[in-house]
């Protein structure tokens, strides 16, 4: 037809991904490259955030007017029940553990802000939001939820010790694939 321009098909160009402030060209065969998350660093960061949020929520409950004894009892109850529940969960024993693979030379490391944010959602953020809302209605419930956050942090501390012991014993550093976490990678020390 007159006046129409035919578009010429061109070869697809590689998509660009921005990672750590640099631009890296990715081709179709490079999409299988894993984005790595150091397990111990991730676990320690999540533990610190959860314990800090638990302490902050407990302080908020006391500032909202909860009495000392009920606040401490609620906090201890929330911490104990959550830590026991999380540490006694044995579903992971039923799953087949992946065999760690060596880290590919061109694998990318995930930024720590991204994997910490991903680890906090939805459980930690949800409980934190409930604790804030509970401050207005029932400060003792906020103390219990502060304990839930602290219990998550306590379970994370135990998990951190297990990862540290495994890495020290085996002489390597463990990494997981960002997002799915279904593949494990090792780096010899």
Residue 67 is predicted with a pLDDT of 97
Residue 7 is predicted with a pLDDT of 32
Q: What are the pLDDT digits (tens) for 109-120?
A: 999 999 999 999
Task: Tell the burial category of 3 from Cβ atoms under 10 Å away from its Cβ (0-12, 13-18, 19+).
Answer: exposed
Q: What are the pLDDT digits (tens) for 48-102?
A: 999 999 999 999 999 999 999 999 999 999 999 999 999 998 887 777 778 889 9
CA 84 to CA 168: how far, in whole Å?
26
Q: What is the pTM of this model?
A: 0.80
For the chain, give the mean pLDDT. 85
Q: Domain residue spans in the chain?
A: 34-89+105-188
Three-state DSSP state, 81: helix
CA 170 to CA 165: how far, in whole Å?
8
Structural tokens at position 93: 């024993």
Q: Which of 40, 48, 46 is nearest to 161 (CA)?
A: 40
User: What average pLDDT does the segment 118-143 reach?
Assistant: 96
Structural tokens at position 9: 């098909």
Residue 116 is predicted with a pLDDT of 93
Residue 31 is predicted with a pLDDT of 59
pLDDT band at 33 (very low <50, low <70, confident <90, very high): confident
């Amino acid at each position: 037809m007159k006046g129409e321009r035919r578009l010429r098909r061109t070869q697809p160009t590689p998509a660009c991904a921005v990672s750590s402030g640099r631009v890296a060209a990715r081709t179709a065969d490079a999409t299988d490259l894993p984005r790595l998350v150091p397990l111990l660093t991730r676990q320690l960061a999540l533990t610190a955030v959860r314990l800090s949020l638990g302490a902050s929520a407990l302080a908020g409950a006391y500032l909202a007017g909860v009495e000392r004894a009920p606040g401490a009892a609620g906090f201890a109850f929330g911490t104990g029940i959550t830590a026991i529940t999380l540490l006694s969960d044995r579903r992971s024993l039923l799953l087949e553990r992946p065999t760690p693979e060596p880290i590919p030379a061109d694998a990318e490391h995930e930024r720590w802000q991204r994997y910490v944010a991903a680890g906090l959602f939805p459980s930690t953020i949800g409980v934190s939001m409930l604790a804030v809302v509970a401050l207005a209605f029932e400060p003792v419930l906020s103390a219990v939820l502060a304990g839930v956050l602290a219990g998550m942090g306590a379970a994370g501390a135990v998990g951190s010790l297990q990862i540290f012991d495994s890495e020290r014993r085996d002489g390597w550093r463990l990494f997981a694939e960002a997002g799915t976490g279904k593949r494990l990678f090792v780096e010899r020390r």
